[in-house]
Amino acid sequence: MSTRRLLLVNGPNLNLLGIREPEVYGTETLADVESLVARTAAESGYEVRAVQSNHEGVLIDAIHAARTDCAGIVINPGGLTHTSVVLRDALAGVALPVAEVHISDVMAREAFRHHSYVADVAVVHVVGRGVAGYAEATRALLARLAD
């Protein structure tokens, strides 16, 4: 694919990064995350379109739109990871490679966080690496795209 753009998707409550539970999520903000992913993607000549919403339908619409002008998706679905079949189906439906990223180690947290509806459609999984995990996920996705 000649498209040199990634879609960065951040789900509910990630707009509160830097404020919400800093002992779990750290003190970096959503703007810091978006900047990190943009810089990381630029290393390989890619640009990034970022979307964050607390509304599932907004995220699904952005994923659907990506099918025409993005090469892949980096996503932290937030709490929708554990609840949203429709988000998973949107990702599967656009048939773009997906990198799933989580700031905290969801497997070391509450039992309900141990299941991800996104896991089976993602080709990259980065969990529990803090905000730096976004750069790791982006590089891994770009490596897959280069293959």
Q: How far apart are CA 143 and CA 128, in angstroms?
A: 21
In tens, the pLDDT along 13-59 reads 999 999 988 887 888 999 999 999 999 999 999 999 999 999 999 99
Q: How far apart are CA 34 and CA 71, in angstroms?
A: 17
Around Cβ 140, how many Cβ atoms within 10 Å? Answer: 18
The number of domains in the chain is 1
Bind-site residues for substrate:
76, 82, 89, 103-104, 113
| Range 101-112 average pLDDT | 76
CATH at 22: 3.40.50.9100
Q: Write out the residue range of the structural domain in which residue 125 sits.
A: 5-146
Hey, what are 57's tokens?
């339908």
Please state the pTM of the whole predicted model: 0.93
Tell me which residues are annotated as active site: 25, 102
Confidence of residue 109 (pLDDT cuts 50, 70, 90): low
Q: Which of 140, 2, 10 is nearest to 71 (CA)?
A: 2
Bind-site residues:
76, 82, 89, 103-104, 113
Question: Which H helix or E strand runs over 40?
Answer: helix 30-42
**What pLDDT is stored for residue 25 in this prediction?**
82
